[in-house]
Amino acid sequence: MRPLLVICLSTIVSMQVAFSQINYSFTTANTIYTPLSGGNPVYLTGNGTETLADEGYVNYIPIGFMFTYNSGGSFDELAISTNGFISFSELTNSYFLNNLTTGALGERPVIAALWDDLDVSLTSNITYATTGTAPNRVFTVEWLNAKWGFGASTAAVSFQIKLYETSNWIQFIYRPESGLPSSPSASIGLTRTGTGNNNFVSIGSFSLTPSISTTTEVATINTKPSSSISYYFKPGVLPVTLEYFTVTKEKEKHILQWKTLNEINNKQFNIQRSNNGNDFSTIATQLAYSQTGNTNTIKNYKVEDDMPLKGTNYYRLEQIDNDGRKSYSTIISIKNSITNWATLNIYPNPVVNHLQLQLHLNNSATVGISINDVYGKQLFQQITSCQTADNLINIPLQNLPAGNYFIKVYNEKSNQFLIQQFIKK
């Protein structure tokens, strides 16, 4: 199958301009590690000095289907190194020195689940298999009971790389073992054929919320995972390196803040909210600070939700790139305590022409009433003086288009507010 491999590599080179960065989104998950059963053995080649289980590699391993990597070339073979990575090129070295930025020059692209100086003790601890049926087959290669670092005496970690047919997903799965690493200094991530910035993606640590960068490689990972975890790389631009996304309460508002370390092809962020953590709608949009969508400098963003829902509010960022592709942040939440300055009932709901507000105040106050659409745009506002006890207020809605809306009643003096959602027919 060597001629096909050469053809595919030529395709990668010819498409570097079209695919000028690593084109994957990244997600993590807790998982159950299942050792590969009945896998095929590998027949390693080495340098003639170190043992094959320590510094070995093997070429022309059949994947079992055509796998498309990084929106570019398609491959049906790959190479495996004992040092925790696979390559779609022909290897001439096991490469115990990890380097996603420029390493394995001429033998990239590399998929590195744990690139470091590893020793699997027995060559039979590296196996591979293709399972399932077309078009949903999965290729798995496993490094079982790997000693991590030069001089390590016992196994510290087991891990697998999985390639998924049709979806072209890549999955890394890890399980900690009982041993300790010895002077570990690893890289985890993907590379393209080229070298330098945007030709790799580097994962910063073994955690469910690691840092991610396409410009700065973390080549010093030295702590094994505390439990079995998975990393998924799914085709689609990895446009933003998000350092954090937080929400805090400030009086009656929720303040959403996030920081990006790197942005590629980024158009905007849609801030989305939910009352159950599942069904989200956009409440605000923040354009990328860079007009081109590309920046390697830190950017800080801040958006205020001045109409949070009662109870727990869930938020996420929907990132939109210049090609229309979408990716999502982790979900964060905050509880909005119910205020006791007043109570609000609205009827009818759904409403046709007139919305009735029954507002009970504990103390007389001047209140503001506003109506906003689901994107946060204010469509109606009025100021009303209300007395202690019940106040009936009529809001005409004949000119309001059909749809979902929020009505907010707020105390002009204390800035406390009540909010409810309604439907206009």
Residue ranges covered by each domain of the chain: 2-235, 245-336, 342-424
For tokens 């046709």, the residue is 352
Whether 237 contacts 323, CB under 8 Å: yes
pLDDT of residue 12: 23
| Domain 342-424: homologous superfamily in CATH | Macroglobulin (MG2) domain (2.60.40.1930)
* Local confidence band at 375 (pLDDT 50, 70, 90 cut-offs): low
The two structure tokens encoding residue 56: 């070995």
pLDDT of residue 11: 23
For residue 425, give Cα distances in angstroms to 279, 350, 409: 22, 6, 22
For residue 170, give Cα distances in angstroms to 164, 235, 242: 7, 9, 21
Check whether 99 has a pLDDT greater than 60.
yes
Report the b/e string of 254-286 with b at 16+ CB within 10 A: bbbebebbbbbbbbebbbbbbbeeeebeebbee
- 324: which DSSP letter? S
pLDDT of residue 140: 98
pLDDT of residue 115: 98
pLDDT of residue 338: 56
Is the pLDDT higher at 311 or at 397? 397
Least confident interval from 97-106, 183-192, 312-321, 407-416: 407-416
pLDDT of residue 171: 95
Instruction: Tell me, rounded to whole angstroms, the distance of Cα 404 from its chain centroid.
Output: 30
pLDDT of residue 3: 30
pLDDT of residue 132: 95
| Residue pLDDT, tens place only, 200-257 | 989 989 988 787 887 789 999 999 998 999 998 887 644 677 777 888 888 778 999 9
pLDDT of residue 261: 78
The two structure tokens encoding residue 414: 């204390």
Highest mean pLDDT among 55-59, 236-240, 244-248, 298-302: 55-59
Q: What kind of architecture, by CATH, is found in domain 245-336?
A: Sandwich (2.60)
Enumerate residues 6+ apart whose C-beta is below 8 A from 94.
Answer: 46, 47, 55, 56, 57, 81, 82, 83
pLDDT of residue 13: 23
Share of the chain above pLDDT 70, in %: 91
**Calpha distance 390→402 (Å, rounded):** 29
For tokens 């001047």, the residue is 366
Neighbour tally for 314: CB within 10 Å: 19
Whether 98 contacts 122, CB under 8 Å: no
Same-fold call for 245-336 versus 342-424: yes
Enumerate residues 6+ apart whose C-beta is below 8 A from 360.
Answer: 342, 343, 344, 389, 390, 391
Q: What is the pLDDT averaged over residues 307-335?
A: 80
Residue 223: name the closest of 243, 204, 242 by CA.
Answer: 204
For residue 234, give Cα distances in angstroms to 56, 187, 275, 321, 326: 29, 19, 28, 16, 12
**Calpha distance 398→391 (Å, rounded):** 22
Please calculate the CA angle 303-210-126 and round it to the nearest 5 degrees.
Answer: 155
Residue 267: name the closest of 231, 239, 308 by CA.
Answer: 239
Q: What is the pLDDT averaged over residues 131-148?
A: 96
Whether 24 contacts 201, CB under 8 Å: yes
**Calpha distance 83→313 (Å, rounded):** 45
The two structure tokens encoding residue 317: 């960022």
